[in-house]
Every structure is written in C-alpha cells, then in structure tokens.
Amino acid sequence: MAKNVLIVGGGTAGWVTAGYLARMLSAASPDGARISLIESEDIGIIGVGEGTFPSIRKTLKRIGVDEADLVRECDATFKQGISFRGWRTGAGDSYFHPFEAAFSPGGLDLLSYWLAGAVGDRSWDEVSTVQTRVAELGLAPKLDTHEGYAAPLSYAYHFDAVKLARLLRRVGIANGVRHLTGTVTDVKLGEDGSVDYLISREHGELRADLYIDCTGFHAQLIGKALQSPYRSVRDSLFTNRALAMQVPYEREDAPIPSYTISTAQPAGWTWDIGLDGRRGIGYVYSTDHTSDDEAEAVLRRYIGPESDDLNPRKLEFEPGYRPVQWVKNVVAIGLSAGFVEPLEATGIGFAEGAALVLAAIFPWSGPVDGPAKQFNDIMSRRYAHVVDFIKMHYCLTQRKDTPFWRDNAAPDSIYDSLKDRLERWRYRMPDFVDVDLNHDIFTEANWQYVLYGMGFKTDLGDRKGALKYFEDAKVAFADVARQADVAARKLPAHRDLITSVRRHGFRRAA
C-alpha cells in the first residue's frame, strides 16, 4: 500500500509529477493520497530544454493549469513542429516535422499515392497537412476565441523552464501538494534494501510509502542510494554536451516562429526557439568530434553579433536511461531516469508519461512488485524506441563532410531494432502496426515525416499497380492546399496571438 508519496526535487519533472498525481490521486481529499515535494533553494533548475510535445496540453489541462496563465507567466509561445535544416545533405535542404497528422479523407491512404508520384516531387509534409504552410507563414495554430488547449491544429509550447516550474508549483500547492523547502542530505536504507527514510537538514527525518526521485542527473535516490544501473547509448547517439544562450530580440515586435529551428552543424546541431521576450539558442554537440572552444565558435557564428556580450551556459550529459526505473519503493522520473538528447523535446515528454503511467497503476493496495515491473517494462521500452527515433534523424543523412556525420551513418552505430524498422520500410511505409501507444511517444505519422523528410525511399513494388484511386488522391491533395489557403486567411500571426492572450486571455467566440 502506498498512500504517502514524497517527491524529491522540483523543477519541471518534479512539479509535473506532483501536480498530476495530486489531481489524479485526490490529494486535496482526506481519503486521497498524500503528495509531498521537497526541493532545495540551493539547486537550480537545469532546464535542458524549453520545448515540449503535444501531449503536454492534455497533461497541463488535467493538472489544472490555465493556458492563458501559461502564456502570461512562462513567456510561452506555440510550437507546431520542428524545421530541420541541412540534415539531409547540408546543401540548403530542409524539411518540416509537423505535429498535425496527415490528411486522410474517407480513410484514403494518401502516403501510398505520394510515394507513387501523385504530386510529383513535392515534400510529404507540404502536401499532407496544412500545418507546414501555416508555420512557414509565421501563423499561430489557433485563434484567441478558441478555448484553452483547443485548436484546429495540433501544437505544443516553447516556454521559460524556470517560470514553468514556478507556475506548476503554485497550481500544485493549490491542488493539495505539501511543499517543503529543504535539502536531502542522506538516504537511509532498510534491511530489505528499500528506502527507510530520508534526512533533511531543515526537516530532519522524512518518511513515505513511495519516494519519487526527481533529483535530475544527480539521481540521489535511484542512482546513488539504490544503484540502479544506467545504460549509455552513446555508441549510437554521439552528442553529449550543449552550450546555450538567451538572445534578446532586435525589436519587441519581432516575428516569433511557431516551431523549433534545428540546423545541422559540423559536430551536432543548433536549436533556435522563440519565446515572447527572447530567443533560446543552443548547440548540441559531440565532444568526440569537436572541442568546447570550436563549439562555442559555431554557436556564436550562428547567432551573429548579438552573442558578443553573452556567455554560454554549458550542460554535460550522457545519453541513455535506466532500464529499471522503479526499484523497491523508489520511482525515478525525469533526468534521474534518463535523458536521450534535446532533439524532438522528449525530456518533459518522458516525465509527463511516467507520471501518467504511475497514476494509472498506483499501488493503493497490495505489493508494489507488480506495478513496478509493469512500469519498468513500459518506460524502458519507451526510451529504447525514442533512441531509435532520434537516431533515424542522423543515420539517414547523405552528408559526408565531417567525421560526425560520417560516423552517424556508419552501420555499426545503428541498433538492430532500428535496422529492422528501416529494412521493413524499404518495401512498405510505416503504419499503425509499427507503434504501440503504450510504449511509444511517437506515432507512425511522426516516423513518416522524419523518414521521408530525410529522403528515404520506399519501393511499393506491385502495390503501385493496385492503387486505383489516383484521381481521388489528387483531389484530396488539392483539398489540403485549399484548406491551407483558408488557414492562411483566418489564422493570426503568431506574435499577434501571444500579445492578445497576454492582454485578454482566450475569449470565447460570440
């Protein structure tokens, strides 16, 4: 039985977990679970990323965060996908990974007709959804008359990670989370190897039925105390360091892209995201392929003169995860459980996913062995599948201009699980049978956008001759273009929406 839960560590992972469990386990009710969180003022928020995936909308709504407050208090902007530049050839190429699923009128499989050449050489992301054009035009995914978290197009957010943690803390406390400010100095284990109690210099002994480790890379409980092994994946994903800068806009009314810009660099890639008051720009790179000094030079060249008076913040990480994230009475969530790399903004996605699973299988009664086993199976598979998804961005490159890109395309850097996927997709496109939503963050649509954005070729073979609805498909592709025209006329500029929401919130249509 686990009714008393203590979360160690705040930040985004800690407060997403606390807020979600508080709502789902009725922490504000006398009969609900007791959710406590202890965080230290001495330990800053790492804030490895300022981006999210669309699942965050449902999570924040369940926690009780008002979307207008998110925009106002966290400098949040809307994210409709990622623009990848220079990843395929390094010669001016680009593709967009939108969050909106491909158009499918009446169940017609447009991807097969695209592969068969129904629209010539136009890119898949361009012809299958209106979102690519909406993003390219600098438009928002919704109107200010749409309710919070509702929109005609799928989206996530960019935000200030420190400010988001503060907002989540406020909402979490209102939902019944007991907040303690203090530093855990020691972890005491019982005879069975589980955590008996924690020692805080401010609060003395702290006891709970279930402890959640949100202490980041420090992994104070799951790693240092319980010694759960960490599986590095750096033999496949090479980046292990990042430099980041916060860059002011040249003017207050500068346009804000509603997507992350990911630009391939000699030994990694740069991110460029727009918040309301600044840009967050960083370089993720491999120390096996470049030096810190050269990485900083690359980052400064990308930013330009605006970087002259700025000092980069350095983040070191080991890409990987713990296959066993629930040990005895300790559950790891967030960076203590694992971190792949910032590409595709999976960090917060893993934290919210872990909170969702934990709430669903929470051990109100009986032993924790069964729930722990199920949790470990789900989360370890999720990490493994994301490793393959991220690696696919790299290994399909045609670039051979630097050792980093040549090494990423080397067969011995690609895990067999990804090789198997790519082999089957040489003869059919990714479909629903290739994903399991219990273990996958990304759907078949996400795999398709990246796979074909990177120039992968699927041979339809005899299936091409069996495609009998070419005219219907062409009508459907034309309808996507027509809908894009409508969206272009109706949707506001991204910054205009942000300004309106900050002033008035979301106003229901009359």
Q: Report the pLDDT averaged over residues 144-149.
A: 94
What is the strand order of the sheet 313-316 is part of? 94-98, 81-85, 260-265, 268-274, 278-285, 241-248, 313-316
| Distance (Å, whole) CA 142 – CA 224 | 46
What is the spatial distance between Cα 72 and Cα 144, in angstroms, rounded to a whole number? 14
- Average pLDDT of span 174-194: 96
**The tokens of 142 are what?**
């919704």
Q: Coil, strand or helix: which one is 313?
A: strand
Please check whether residue 168 is in contact with residue 158, taking contact to mean a CB–CB distance below 8 angstroms. no
**Virtual CA dihedral for 80, 83, 88, 94, nearest 10 degrees?**
110
Contacts of 273 (CB under 8 A, 6+ apart): 50, 51, 79, 158, 257, 260, 261, 279, 280, 281
Give pLDDT tens digits for 384-430: 999 999 999 999 999 999 999 999 999 999 999 999 999 999 999 99
What's the rounded Cα separation, in Å, for the pair 425 and 112? 12
Tell me what percent of the residues of the chain surpass a pLDDT of 70: 97
Instruction: Answer for the pair 16, 355: CB distance below 8 angstroms, yes or no.
Output: yes
79 is catalytic: yes
As to burial, measured by CB atoms within 10 angstroms (0-12 exposed, 13-18 middle, 19+ buried), residue 31 is: exposed
At residue 123, does pLDDT exceed 80? yes
The top-level CATH class assigned to 241-316 is alpha beta
- Res 509: pLDDT: 52
Mean of per-residue pLDDT scores for the chain? 95
Residues of the chain with CATH 3.50.50.60: 4-50+160-232+319-383
Q: Is the pLDDT of residue 48 over 50?
A: no
Sheet with 320-321, side-by-side order of all strands:
231-232, 320-321, 338-339
Q: What is the mean pLDDT of residues 57-72?
A: 97
- What 3-state class would DSSP assign to 201? coil
Confidence of residue 437 (pLDDT cuts 50, 70, 90): confident
pLDDT at residue 42 is higher than 80 = no
Q: Can you give the pLDDT at residue 107?
A: 81
Confidence of residue 438 (pLDDT cuts 50, 70, 90): confident
Per the CATH hierarchy, to which homologous superfamily does domain 4-50+160-232+319-383 belong?
FAD/NAD(P)-binding domain (3.50.50.60)
> Which helix or strand (DSSP H or E) is residue 494 part of?
helix 494-504
Q: Any idea what the Cα angle at residue 442 is, between residues 114 and 324, rounded to 5°? A: 150
Average pLDDT over residues 478-504: 96
Mean of pLDDT values over 16-35: 95
What backbone phi and psi angles, to 5 degrees, belong to 16? Answer: -65, -45
Give the Cα separation of 275 and 51 in Å (integer): 10
Mean per-residue pLDDT, 320-325? 98
pLDDT score for 464:
87
- For residue 375, which amino acid is it? F
Residue with tokens 């872990």: 354
CATH 3.30.9.100 residue ranges in the chain?
241-316
Enter the tokens of residue 500: 């309106």
Identify the weakest region by mean pLDDT among 80-84, 266-270, 337-341, 506-510: 506-510
Whether 76 shows a pLDDT value over 70: the answer reads yes
pLDDT band at 34 (very low <50, low <70, confident <90, very high): very high
Residue from 3, 58, 61, 79 carrying the catalytic annotation: 79
Q: 3-state SS of 393-457?
A: HHHCCCCCCCHHHHHHHCHHHCCHHHHHHHHHCCCCCCCHHHCCCCCCCCCHHHHHHHHHHCCCC
